[in-house]
Structure 1
Amino acid sequence: MDMRERRKLERSLKPHWVWAIAFGSAIGWGAFVLPTDWISQAGPLGVVTGLLLGAVLMMVIGVSYGFLIEKFPVTGGEFAYAYIGFGRQFAFVAGWFLTLGYICIVALNASALALLTKFLFPDLVRTGNLYTIAGYEVSIIQIAIASLALIAFAILNIRGASFSGQTQFVFSLILIAGIVLLAIGAIIAEGPQIANIRPAFHPEQSTLASILTILAIAPFAYVGFDNIPQAAEEFKFEAKKAFGLIIWSLLAAGLAYSAMILITASTMPWQELLLNISENQSVWGTGDAIESYLGRAGVWIIAVAVCMGIFTGLNGFYISASRLTFAMGRARILPDVFRRLHPKYNTPYVGILFTMLICLIAPWFGREALLWVVDMSSTGVAIAYFFCTATAYKFFSWKETGPDSSRTASPWKKLFSLVGMISALGFLALLLLPLSPASLGKESYIALLIWVALGIVFYAFNARRYNSIERKEMNYLILEKEEI
């Protein structure tokens, strides 16, 4: 193949589809599966405060994303931005960690579908138990459900970005409708009441520790808004609209998370709720909470909503993982096969199939083992946020610039990018420092070290070709322009 060959994706995504890709990916299954886990760590208002503060920090980071998307509307997102600001070696670092984060979230969404089935049809799922990993029973039924979901959404994504965007928007509307119905039920039904959320914060730790515990997971909770830059090359609208889509998707995600936390915690005194879940060894505490005031009808409402969350997560991160690997293949840091496009649908099908094949391994290891890797993937997302904000910081200037300057005079945006950089470093500190209330567990540290080691080996095998390409040619391959 010609080293100058640069294949492009079709412009087919409408604004409301892109919003749905970001919102649906950010919500995913977490808003419906994790509320009781988070409440046990920080108390109801500790979770809500941490998540809303996290959304604000993500919006600050979104200022940098909006600027870079408008200036460089190409697929690849943080990979391209790290290249612009710091060169090809750091671009590989950002791309490598972000690829891990995206693939992990695809796998975890598939496992969440198996978890939902286990809650709704426990006897069926117990059939064919194979073994236990980290206390979690793995059955052939769960493996089959997760695998079928992975295969189905791989096919969906291969069929085209417009098809994926349309379905994503429909899924997102159904998801929002489900949350609204659950909220109305909590207001009019007997049982749920505001008094049940007391104590507002975890009684065994400080208010600050409760908030920081949840704030540390903001990169994981809101990862998905950064799917927007991954699809920038496929926008069927002006790239400057991207910033507004980022803000609205984060606002909607923050409100959706908060609504589900308050709905869950209001069903009964939350410490009693957690005790009941522990004693009954519930596989899905949020489902139990909804069933306590809406009965089986409520379970089916939240089941439909969580299905939509899972579907939007699978769809959105298939899009992002495949676009990121396509961009890295186009830059020649991944094998040439990754820059191939489907002859009929013009989609990066190799990246989609690669993501599917990696994720098909995950259901065999059980949900608990997968959570170790996903906790670690938050580190990769925070690293990507740092490179994006740091690159934007270099573009902005505190003072007026001359007509020949490549920098943009905008002290407020430079301040926002600086705050974004500090926030990204803060997220990393909360995750990596042993004394942090949100520090990674031992298993997650081990998974992180394994991924770093794999990255070093992978880079060593591809570095010669990657580094031999001249600067102007690399600019063209990544950004479609020879000069930055």
Structure 2
Amino acid sequence: MFLRKKLDKQISKSDIFSLALGAIIGWGAFVLPGDLFLSHIGLQNTIIGMSLGALIMIIIEKNYGFMLSKHAVAGGEYAFTYYSFGRHHALICAWFLGLAYISIVPLNATALSLIAKSMFPGLLEKGFLYSIAGYKVYIGEILVASLALVLFAYFNIKGVKIASALQKVMTMFLVGIVFLLLFMVLNNPEIGNDNISTYLGLSKLSIPKILKILTIAPFAYVGFDCIPQAAEELDFSPKKASKLAMLSIIVGCLIYVMLNIITAFAFTQEMILSSKIDWATGDAVELLLGKIGLYSLGISLLMAIVAGINGFYMAASRILFALSRAGAINSWFSELDKKTKTPKNATLFVMAVSLITPWFGRSVLLWVVNMASIGAVIGYLYTSIAAYKLAKKENDKTIKVTGLLGAIFSSSFCVLLLFPGLRTSLTMPSYIALVAWAILGIVFYRKQAKGYKSMKKETLDKLILNKDSKKLKNAS
């Protein structure tokens, strides 16, 4: 007889919205306008690509919402995949999705150095250690990233209420400041349209460049799928959670677009490519609105980074908890804090892994994160097919359409990312990291998952879905 551990229902609607939105808007929204969007893609192509990406994510989210209404348990895609395809596919899905969530935690933590470099040059560049893949590693940057990782692990262990309250405050500042900055730029009579007009016109449109933006949509909008990970802790209906997830995608898209527009008002593509500009969005705000604007943007970026750390701590720890509760990984991961009933050990594990990564530098970490985009896409693919399969049984025409479209879009993302030779494909280091993670998964499955493979279906149904096998058969 297995005792099924449960998480308390203590996450409100505002909590879950701030969790999803804070996870979506990470450091990339503030850095990519100069590094990729305006410098290589163009403003029009970026807006079209990000808008289409948001629409695709909303279609995929419809599938998440449908499955969530059936299985509101921790683990999200792991539970959805188990119900439709069994334990083996569920483990594959969770294996790659877990990597995506875990890798984004330290990526956000190491992004704290980006703020210091732009606003306080040289502040953290103390104690040079070595260079890896062209990135200089400093002990000062490692210490700051480590402090943030430990601090938010502590907040997550001390309770969902504390972590959620922090998330709401951070997300409010993040969104409010970006809206305020755009308002100030648009209403400043001294700011002309000369620079932004260079990005406009039919001749600037490019389908290959729009497709390039579409390939990063799974990474840009990853965060809305944090909601299913915390499904077991929601104190309201899953249908409302789905609507909040869609709203988070829309607001996330607006933030991406607004930051690009602000930057385009200050610099042409040629100016950004001149290599005289380190942080295009930061330099743009300082040029247009002065130091006060720059410091305001810095606060917004700080909120985005720490909100991302907090959000993905919650998502990563919940999927590890769900795997452990089902017997797929060691039971240590599903141990709960006695007072707060949060997955303490899973959170500590995410922290421990994250504390290692800053020592390798951001270049190496970016290889892993680029590869981890595949993890998010695999989650989208399994969920969409699972939704289509179940909708077909229930004759739900709307979800049959969104399920099929979601599967097509997710498969297309996989092709664009994995097919060698395409402009959108992964780099060689990312391919190597992907193969290494897959091999590690095979070794783990053969050596460590013996109990999981032999466990009775009736037991797994209860542990993963919290449902009786007979009721599941009747429902199907």
TM-score (normalised: structure 2): 0.95
Structure 1 distance, partners of 2:354, 2:194, is 41
Instruction: Trace 1:268-417 onto structure 2 (pairs within 5 A).
Output: 268-275=267-274, 278-279=275-276, 282=278, 284-397=279-392, 407-417=393-403
How far is the alpha carbon of 1:188 from its aligned partner? 3.1
Cα distance in structure 2, aligned partners of 1:46 and 1:134 = 30
Aligned equivalents of 1:195, 1:81: Cα separation in 2: 48
Counterpart of 2:426 in structure 1: which amino acid?
L
Tell whether 2:15 aligns with 1:20: no
Q: Secondary structure at the match of 1:132?
A: strand
Deviation sequence 1:47-89 (CA, Å, 0-9, x none):
1111111000000001110011111110101111111111111
The DSSP-based 3-state class of the residue aligned with 1:108 is helix
Stretch deviating more after TM superposition (236-245 or 91-100): 236-245
- CA drift at 1:192: 5.2
Contact 1:41 1:213 in 2 (8 A): no
> Deviations for 1:129-184, whole angstroms, at most 9, x for unmatched residues?
11112222111110001000000000010011122112111111111111012102
1:142 aligns with 2:167: no
Question: Is the 2:195–2:264 Cα contact (8 Å) retained in structure 1?
Answer: no
1:316 counterpart letter in structure 2: G
Give me the whole-angstrom Cα distance separating, in 2, the residues matched to 1:200 and 1:371. Answer: 31
Residue of structure 2 equivalent to 1:444: 430
Residue 197 of structure 1 contacts residue 262 of structure 1 at CA under 8 Å; is this kept in 2? no
Which residue is equivalent to 1:5? 3
Q: Deviations along 1:422-446, whole A, 9 cap, x unmatched?
A: 0100111110112322111111111
1:168 matched to 2:154? The reply is: no
1:434-473 equivalence runs, <5 A = 434-473=420-459
Alignment of 1:58-97 (within 5 A): 58-97=57-96
Q: 1:445 & 1:187 partners in 2: Cα distance?
A: 43
Which letter does structure 1 place at the counterpart of 2:211?
A: L
Of 297-306 and 187-196, deviating more is: 187-196
Match of 2:415 in 1: 429
Alignment of 1:85-124 (within 5 A): 85-124=84-123
2: CA distance, partners of 1:477 / 1:433: 38
Q: Secondary structure at the match of 2:130?
A: strand
Tell me the alpha carbon deviations over residues 233-276 of structure 1, each in whole angstroms, 9 at most, x when there is no partner.
0001122212211111111111111111111122122321332x
Q: Are 1:474 and 2:476 matched, yes or no? A: no
Structure 1 counterpart of 2:9, which letter? R
- Count of aligned positions: 468
Preserved CA contact (<8 Å) 1:375 1:444 = yes
Measure, in 1, the Cα distance between the counterparts of 2:241 and 2:297.
31
Q: Is the CA contact 1:64–1:392 (under 8 Å) kept in the aligned structure 2?
A: yes
Deviates more, 1:242-251 or 1:57-66: 242-251
Name whichever of 165-174 and 149-158 sits farther off. 165-174
Give the secondary structure class of the aligned counterpart of 1:122.
Answer: coil
Equivalent pair of 2:45/2:205 in contact (CA under 8 Å): no
Q: What corresponds to 1:401 in structure 2?
A: none
| AA of the residue aligned to 2:406 | G
Separation in 2, partners of 1:5, 1:115:
46
Query: Cα distance, 1:285 vs. partner?
Result: 2.6
Structure 2 match to 1:260: 259
Q: Is the 8 A contact 2:146 2:355 kept in 1?
A: yes
User: Secondary structure of 1:12's partner?
Assistant: coil
Aligned partners of 2:467 and 2:116: how far apart in 1? 49
**Distance change (3 Å), C-alpha of 1:134 and 1:353:** same
SS at match of 1:76: coil
**Structure 1, residues 190-227: CA drift from partner, whole Å, max 9, x if none?**
34537525234898x97110100010000000000000
- Give unmatched runs, 5+ long, in structure 2: none
2: CA distance, partners of 1:197 / 1:312: 34
Residue equivalent to 2:221: 222
Contact 1:46 1:201 in 2 (8 A): no
Aligned partners of 1:273, 1:339: CA distance in 2, in Å?
48
SS in 2 for 1:436: coil
How far is the alpha carbon of 1:38 from its aligned partner? 2.3
Question: Offset at 1:187?
Answer: 1.4
Q: In structure 1, the residue corresponding to 2:124 is in which secondary structure?
A: helix
Indicate conservation of the 8 Å contact 2:106/2:357, yes or no: yes
For the aligned residue pairs, the C-alpha RMSD in angstroms reads 1.6
Aligned pair in 2 of structure 1 residues 201, 110: CA closer, same or farther (>3 Å)? farther
Quick one: which amino acid aligns to residue 449 of structure 1? V
1:202/1:43 Cα in 2 relative to 1: closer, same or farther (>3 Å)? farther
- Identical columns (%): 42
Say if 1:197 and 1:386 are closer, same or farther in 2 by CA, change over 3 A.
farther
- State the match for 2:244 in structure 1: 245
Judged with a 3 Å threshold, the aligned counterparts in structure 2 of structure 1 residues 58 and 129 are, in CA distance, closer, same or farther, namely same
